[in-house]
Amino acid sequence: MNHFNRLALMASMASALLLGACSSTPVAPVAAAPVAMAPTATATAQAPAPAPKLATPAPVSKAELAAFLDPANPLSRDKSVYFDFDQYSVKPEGQRVLEMHGKYLADHAGVKIKVEGNADEQGGAEYNLALGQKRADAVVKVLKVFGVKDTQMEAVSFGKEKPKALGHDESSRAQNRRVDLDYPAK
């Protein structure tokens, strides 16, 4: 191998190393590509080197997506319980949602949630904070019936500070009288 070919080979290897060092993912070692040589008077006829075989990547294992993170799962879609005006009793349609979440949480003792109580815009800030807390506490009580442990739940109140709907009509207010079950983002 003459001096020019050695320099070309070293330059291509140095480039590959530099590019690999900048990558955030591991890079498989790059085999040096054959360098085309200009024919010289003293060069002998050589057969081209066979192309290097590329490694087949290992199959990527899919980690199982938690049910509460899967958009196709009802646990991900139905995470709110709604209340009547100035009330903190869980309605029958809320019982269905809480039963689903309660059974899931009882079967997955390592999963923790925040039970977030909310109120509509009517009433004072202190009153709505207290009402939101009563709603969150009522939901916690129902979840316990299904076997959810106290250590899995934290009840908090946002009062009227975290509205779901921004309107000032009854439809918007009804959406804001709720408790949201907030699962951890993984």
Q: Which tens digits make up the pLDDT trace of 66-79?
A: 999 899 999 999 99
Domain interval for residue 142: 67-182
Given a cut of 90, whether residue 20 has pLDDT beyond it is no
Q: Report residue 150: phi and psi, to 5°.
A: -55, -35
- Check which CATH number belongs to the domain holding 172 and give it: 3.30.1330.60
Which is more confident, 92 or 30? 92
Query: Within this chain, do residues 34 and 103 fall inside the same structural domain, yes or no?
Result: no
Q: Is the Cβ–Cβ distance between 118 and 160 less than 8 Å?
A: yes
Name the burial class of residue 20, with classes exposed (0-12), middle (13-18) and buried (19+) by CB atoms within 10 angstroms of its CB.
Answer: middle
Least confident of 46-60, 72-86, 124-138, 155-169: 46-60
Query: Within this chain, do residues 51 and 95 fall inside the same structural domain, yes or no?
Result: no
Query: Within this chain, do residues 97 and 56 fall inside the same structural domain, yes or no?
Result: no
Query: Within this chain, do residues 116 and 73 fall inside the same structural domain, yes or no?
Result: yes
Distance CA 51, CA 46 (A): 15
Q: In the listed set 61, 85, 102, which residue is the last one of a domain according to the structure? A: 61
Domain count, the chain: 2
Q: Is the Cβ–Cβ distance between 82 and 175 less than 8 Å?
A: yes
Q: Is the Cβ–Cβ distance between 128 and 177 less than 8 Å?
A: no
Given a cut of 60, whether residue 136 has pLDDT beyond it is yes
DSSP label of 73? S
pLDDT digits (tens, 9 = 90+) for 86-130: 999 999 999 999 999 999 999 999 999 999 999 999 999 999 999
Given a cut of 50, whether residue 161 has pLDDT beyond it is yes
Q: In the listed set 61, 84, 108, which residue is the last one of a domain according to the structure? A: 61
Q: Which pair of structure tokens corresponds to residue 60? A: 């990527």
Query: Within this chain, do residues 87 and 150 fall inside the same structural domain, yes or no?
Result: yes
Query: Within this chain, do residues 72 and 49 fall inside the same structural domain, yes or no?
Result: no
- Could you tell me the pLDDT band of residue 185, with boundaries at 50, 70 and 90? confident
pTM: 0.66
Q: How far is CA 69 from CA 12, 95, 101, in A?
A: 46, 21, 13
Query: Within this chain, do residues 71 and 57 fall inside the same structural domain, yes or no?
Result: no
Q: In the listed set 16, 37, 61, which residue is the last one of a domain according to the structure? A: 61
Distance CA 179, CA 186 (A): 22
Query: Within this chain, do residues 17 and 83 fall inside the same structural domain, yes or no?
Result: no
Task: Please report the pLDDT score of residue 21 as a whole number.
Answer: 46
Query: Within this chain, do residues 80 and 166 fall inside the same structural domain, yes or no?
Result: yes
Given a cut of 80, whether residue 32 has pLDDT beyond it is no
Task: Please report the pLDDT score of residue 61 as a whole number.
Answer: 45
Query: Within this chain, do residues 12 and 98 fall inside the same structural domain, yes or no?
Result: no
Query: Within this chain, do residues 54 and 83 fall inside the same structural domain, yes or no?
Result: no
Which is more confident, 40 or 180? 180
pLDDT average, residue stretch 137-165:
98
Q: Is the Cβ–Cβ distance between 160 and 128 less than 8 Å?
A: yes
Query: Within this chain, do residues 107 and 53 fall inside the same structural domain, yes or no?
Result: no
